[in-house]
Amino acid sequence: MSQYDVLCIGNAIVDIIARCDETFLRDNAIIKGAMNLIDAERAELLYSRMGPAIETSGGSAGNTAAGIASLGGKAAYFGKIARDQLGDIFRHDIRAQGVAFDTKPLAGQPPTARSMIFVTPDGERSMNTYLGACVELGPEDVEKDKAEAARVTYFEGYLWDPPRAKEAIRLTAGYAHGAGREVSMTLSDSFCVDRYRAEFLELMRSATVDIVFANESELKALYQTSSFEDGLAAIRRDCRLAAVTRSEKGSVIVRGDETVDVDAIRIDQLVDTTGAGDLYASGFLHGYTTGRPLGECGRLGSLAAGLVIQQIGPRPRENLRDAARRHGL
Amino acid sequence: MSQYDVLCIGNAIVDIIARCDETFLRDNAIIKGAMNLIDAERAELLYSRMGPAIETSGGSAGNTAAGIASLGGKAAYFGKIARDQLGDIFRHDIRAQGVAFDTKPLAGQPPTARSMIFVTPDGERSMNTYLGACVELGPEDVEKDKAEAARVTYFEGYLWDPPRAKEAIRLTAGYAHGAGREVSMTLSDSFCVDRYRAEFLELMRSATVDIVFANESELKALYQTSSFEDGLAAIRRDCRLAAVTRSEKGSVIVRGDETVDVDAIRIDQLVDTTGAGDLYASGFLHGYTTGRPLGECGRLGSLAAGLVIQQIGPRPRENLRDAARRHGL
């Protein structure tokens, strides 16, 4: 029996969240809806212009791990924090959620990563991420026992931004496959796909990655197409299993000849889209690692994503296992 | 003309907020609804038992200053943070709200104060405050120009907990009165009143304080009575102006022979009572320093308090000036 359902690997980030209007994004050259990478100097500038904020642990794969634990699954996490107050917050929150997190924190500089997230009135989030300590994640941070013990290893495409995290991923994937496990990734962001298209395709075509999560714009960016259908046909060929999210249109899951369409859940009020994709992956992977049919995996994803976008912040404050029961899942 | 409407002085605290059930409070000997003072060791213990949390700038008088600025008033703040990440968060948030905040941060230990706030399903908050750098606030932190330039100086009774803050208060009150200004305080917490009853009464009876804010339980604690009417009669004698809040029963304002009853606003959903009293003081003092009649001051207080308890965290994310306009205030 496997000790973990899912091992998640990602940039360990504390989110700093404030609302802003559309003008603010334009005036500050922030690409709307994207993950904008920033350096320390720009982080300071943007923070000086940001309104009063709240802080919450984030990081794409960290949110997914938290979601899996909230659903009752067993999750582990690799990610690099520094020994500082933001690092303490990150470690506290993910462990308090029940996720195994033992990556050695960085003793000196740079500090723990933070992402300044601006939420516009339409609920869309635009992220500005200073990677900080995340740039130090490397193969020395791979815990072999966890890589071998997790049914699925899941990582962010964002990990191609820091210099050595990809080495950690390839090492972990090797351990996982060696132990007969599966490996999964999210394409993370369409601009991230633009930066690393060739490498992402290689990961899929070499079967380093078995399961791929993408949203519609990431899928189109990957295959440089404006046609969703063409993108779907291509990803169906390139990986064993793919789940493509389409916001309010739900998601489409493809595996070989199989295609499963999943509806989004009904939303009372869209508050903040931060974490939507991360939580979809939580629900899907929780279903997948507990042996549910693909449609049910997708519905668990829709539910977790639908709940997180009705609150501020990327990790649902509600217990997801209770929510799933309430929704008959 | 006065440069500031209100100068607020308090313990500069970052709030760490999580939900918990009633059992958790009992199991951890946390006095429900109170501000429980804790040391570094207990802070670590409680944090290890706390669920995933969010962080937001807090501190009673800091919340009041933020509320006044949000209402369109000019506010300043004195409070001691350390040069650390939580201190950066506190300074950012209060300045981003438009509050003048220039207290010199502490270079070394202890770190910036934090309060672990547990919110039970009934919306009540129970605070566990580690004072950290706040213990270093002293008369050397008093900015004479701000004390003289503010129409009203407002401070927390909580400031009697750190050792030398009371010296800062007495110095500031002297400057303020010397410039013909008024001085105001909140009784903060019924247990705080128990700790410093004689000194609080002396502040009022010596007219060091002109305006007092209290809730019903603090008023009863101050006069060691179970009768609200007796408490009200006593505070009417002891200070020039008092505003006593009574949760969903609204508030009562007394000044000499004058008595003004103010209704609470209608609440859709009580989420988290954190900041209710602080925001009542914001609204009241904004009305007071802009020359409104007492009833209108109280209604502004009710509105600001009513809005903050319908969200998580002690500082309203909504612009209070817009909210006041919408409510015809």
Chain B residues with CB-CB distance to A319 below 8 A: none
Give the model's pLDDT for residue A47. 98
In the predicted structure, residue B321 carries a pLDDT above the cut 70: yes
Cβ within 8 Å, pair B50-A84? no
- Answer yes or no: do A53 and B93 touch at CB < 8 A: yes
Q: Is the pLDDT of residue B129 over 80?
A: yes
B86 to chain A: which residues are within 8 Å by CB?
85
Assign domain A4-10+60-108+136-326 one CATH number from 3.40.1190.20, 3.20.20.70, 3.30.830.10, 1.20.1300.10.
3.40.1190.20
Structure tokens at A261: 């369409």
Total-model pTM: 0.97
How many A-B residue pairs are in contact by the CB < 8 A criterion?
63
- Digit-coded pLDDT (tens) for A82-91: 999 999 999 9
Percent of chain B with pLDDT over 90: 99
CB-based contacts of B324, cutoff 8 Å, min separation 6: B71, B283, B300, B303
Work out the average pLDDT over B232-245.
98
Q: Give the nearest partner residue to A85 out of B85, B313, B317, using CB atoms.
A: B85
Q: What mean pLDDT comes out for the span A128-152?
A: 98
Encoded amino acid at A13, one letter: I
The nearest alpha carbon in chain A to B112 belongs to A85
Task: Kindly state the average pLDDT of the residues A216-233.
Answer: 98
A1-29 mean pLDDT: 95
Q: φ and ψ at B302, to 5 degrees?
A: -60, -40
> How high is the pLDDT of residue B2?
65
Position B188, amino acid: S
Of the candidates A78, A74, A73, A85, which has an alpha carbon nearest to the alpha carbon of residue A61? A78
- Min Cα distance A119 → chain B (Å) is 12
**The predicted structure's pLDDT at residue B211:** 98
Q: Do B66 and A52 touch (CB under 8 A)?
A: yes
Q: Would you say residue B207 has pLDDT above 70?
A: yes
Residue A2 confidence (pLDDT): 65
Measured between alpha carbons, how far is B302 from A269 in angstroms, rounded to an integer? 26
Supply the pLDDT for residue B154.
98
Could you give the angle at which helices A85-96 and A60-70 cross, rounded to 10 degrees? 30
Q: For the residues of A112-162, what is the DSSP string, one character each?
A: PEEEEEEE-TTS-EEEEEE-GGGGG--GGG--HHHHHHEEEEEEEGGGGSS
Q: Mean of the per-residue pLDDT values for chain A?
A: 97
Task: Determine the average pLDDT of the residues in B160-177.
Answer: 98
pLDDT at position A217, please? Answer: 97
Which residues lie below 8 Å from residue B220, measured CB to CB, with a gap of 6+?
A: B190, B226, B227, B228, B231
The pLDDT tens digits for B75-96 are 999 999 999 999 999 999 999 9
- Model ipTM? 0.96
How confident is the model over B170-180, as a mean pLDDT? 98
Distance CA A188, CA A213 (A): 8
Residue B322: which residues within 8 A CB-CB, separation 6 or more? none
Residue of B nearest to A63 (CA): B52
Q: Chain B interface, mutation test: which of A16, A17, A54, most B Cβ atoms within 10 Å?
A: A54
Residues of A with CB under 8 A from a CB of B: 16, 19, 47, 50-57, 66, 84-86, 89, 92-94, 96-97, 111-112, 313, 315, 317
Q: What is the pLDDT of residues A145-155, one digit of tens each?
A: 999 999 999 99
More confident residue, B2 or B247: B247
What the block records as the tokens of A104 is 């050695």
Which CATH number applies to B4-10+61-88+95-103+135-326?
Answer: 3.40.1190.20
Q: What is the pLDDT of residues B259-301, one digit of tens each?
A: 999 999 999 999 999 999 999 999 999 999 999 999 999 999 9
Contact A313 B96 (CB under 8 A): no
What would the pLDDT profile of A279-322 be if each residue is shown by its tens digit? 999 999 999 999 999 999 999 999 999 999 999 999 999 999 99
